[in-house]
């Protein structure tokens, strides 16, 4: 609707050829980026856990035969020994999806609409008829940003003619209707999208998903909504990547594999502390850092490089020093 009305309205109101050319170039650029981002958000399949998180055929059959939860959990624990990372509930039970028949990795949730487990699931968006998660979260943010800019441009260019309408300087009867309709609709969409875009910008700065905002992930030391936050700059890089030249393009550049995420709150188990104190001489804080059983990807190591502590901005939060290993994450069942 914006595209057709804008070009019907353009020749009636704008007399300068140079002004028309400028309007057309800017509008087409913003419109093209909006369509590209929208397309990528819709047609990018939600990322699901790899086959290594699925139970073997023998384990599946044995799991289905067992009726006691304790026996089922024992089967899951045996299957999870070879996994690089997995999550448990607050009671210590391994998070398992009966529909997909797999052990859930970090921040993974089952979408009832798509009927699949989605890595770092944020929400299921009816606007794009797709799940927003690890594979397309950057595209979703760009879709919101470019649609916001497109609506802002249309509302700003129509504003002067909207003012002329009320001062009876706009004489063309056909243009009057289009001026009113175009301005009000563009302004309405701008306000609604601005609130949604601002909310997701806040989520990126805190390194949270929408699900984690309403239900905080639980670590071994208790629930913490900021457990994945590494600071605003690193949180931004985790979504948009290291190369800033690709940040505004709907090209996948997010860091990590969607299964394993560095955390801010890192506390060693008592037995880990005992082993490390026996095997290693005393070192300065931050010097004896190690990471999960499966090494973090190169991109994640860059996020953690040269940091003796991670600080989350905000008056209510404390500076937390990194420990020696990442906790196995304990989150509630999706």
Encode pLDDT of 27-66 as tens digits. 889 999 999 999 999 999 999 998 888 888 888 888 888 8
Where b means 16+ CB within 10 Å and e means fewer, 95-130 reads: bbbeebebbbbbbbbbbeebebbbbbbbebbeebeb
What pLDDT sits at residue 174?
A: 63
DSSP secondary structure of 4-25:
HHHHHHHHHH---HHHHHHHHH
Q: Can you give the residue ranges of every domain in the chain?
A: 1-46+131-266, 51-127
What pLDDT sits at residue 93?
A: 76
Contacts of 21 (CB under 8 A, 6+ apart): none
Predicted structure pTM score: 0.73
What pLDDT sits at residue 175?
A: 64
Catalytic pick among 114, 125, 201, 232: 125
Catalytic residue flag (residue 125): yes
CB 103 within 8 A of CB 86: yes
pLDDT in tens, 100-122: 888 888 899 999 999 999 999 99
Pairing of strands 102-103, 109-111: unpaired
What pLDDT sits at residue 318?
A: 40
Of 179, 125, 180, whose CA–CA distance to 147 is shortest? 125
- Cα dihedral sign for 208, 211, 215, 221? negative
What pLDDT sits at residue 81?
A: 76
Q: Which residues of the chain have pLDDT under 70?
A: 1-16, 84-90, 166-175, 220-222, 265-334
96: helix, coil or strand? strand
Copy the structure tokens of residue 103: 């052990």
Other CB atoms within a 10 A radius of the CB of residue 201 amount to 14
- Cα dihedral sign for 30, 35, 38, 44? negative
Of 122, 4, 103, 113, whose CA–CA distance to 53 is shortest? 103
Cα gap 16→19, rounded to integer Å:
5
- Give the helix ranges, DSSP H, for the chain: 2-13, 17-43, 57-65, 69-80, 137-166, 173-206, 210-214, 232-240, 270-279, 298-304
Can you tell me which residue has the tokens 């008829």? 129
Of 60, 66, 103, whose CA–CA distance to 84 is shortest? 103
Where b means 16+ CB within 10 Å and e means fewer, 163-172 reads: ebbeeeebee
What pLDDT sits at residue 117?
A: 94
What pLDDT sits at residue 131?
A: 95
């Amino acid at each position: 609707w914006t595209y057709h009305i804008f070009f019907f309205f353009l020749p009636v109101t704008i007399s300068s050829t140079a002004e028309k050319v400028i309007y057309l170039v800017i509008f087409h650029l913003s419109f093209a980026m909006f369509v590209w981002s929208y397309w990528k958000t819709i047609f990018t399949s939600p990322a699901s856990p790899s086959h290594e998180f699925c139970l073997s055929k023998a384990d599946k059959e044995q799991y289905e035969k067992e009726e006691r939860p304790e026996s089922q959990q024992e089967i899951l624990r045996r299957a999870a020994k070879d996994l690089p990372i997995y999550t448990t509930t607050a009671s210590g039970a391994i998070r398992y999806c009966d529909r997909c028949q797999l052990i859930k990795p970090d921040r993974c949730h089952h979408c009832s609409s798509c009927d699949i487990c989605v890595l770092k699931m944020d929400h299921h968006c009816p606007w794009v008829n797709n799940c927003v998660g690890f594979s397309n979260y950057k595209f979703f943010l760009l879709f919101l940003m470019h649609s916001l800019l497109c609506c802002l441009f249309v509302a700003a260019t129509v504003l002067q003619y909207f003012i002329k309408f009320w001062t009876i300087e706009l004489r063309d009867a056909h243009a009057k209707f289009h001026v009113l309709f175009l301005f009000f609709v563009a302004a309405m969409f701008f306000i609604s999208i601005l609130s949604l875009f601002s909310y997701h910008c806040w989520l990126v700065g805190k390194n949270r998903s929408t699900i984690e905002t309403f239900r905080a992930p639980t670590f071994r030391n208790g629930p913490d909504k900021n457990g994945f936050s590494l600071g605003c700059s690193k949180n931004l890089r985790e979504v948009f990547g290291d190369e800033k030249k690709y940040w505004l393009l709907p090209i996948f550049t997010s860091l990590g594999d969607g299964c394993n995420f560095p955390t801010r709150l890192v506390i060693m188990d008592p037995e880990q502390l005992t082993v490390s104190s026996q095997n290693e001489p005393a070192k300065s804080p931050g010097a004896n850092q190690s990471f999960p059983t499966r090494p973090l990807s190169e991109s994640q190591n860059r996020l953690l490089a040269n940091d003796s502590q991670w600080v989350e901005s905000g008056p209510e939060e404390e500076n937390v020093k990194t420990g020696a290993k990442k906790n196995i994450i304990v989150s509630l069942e999706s």
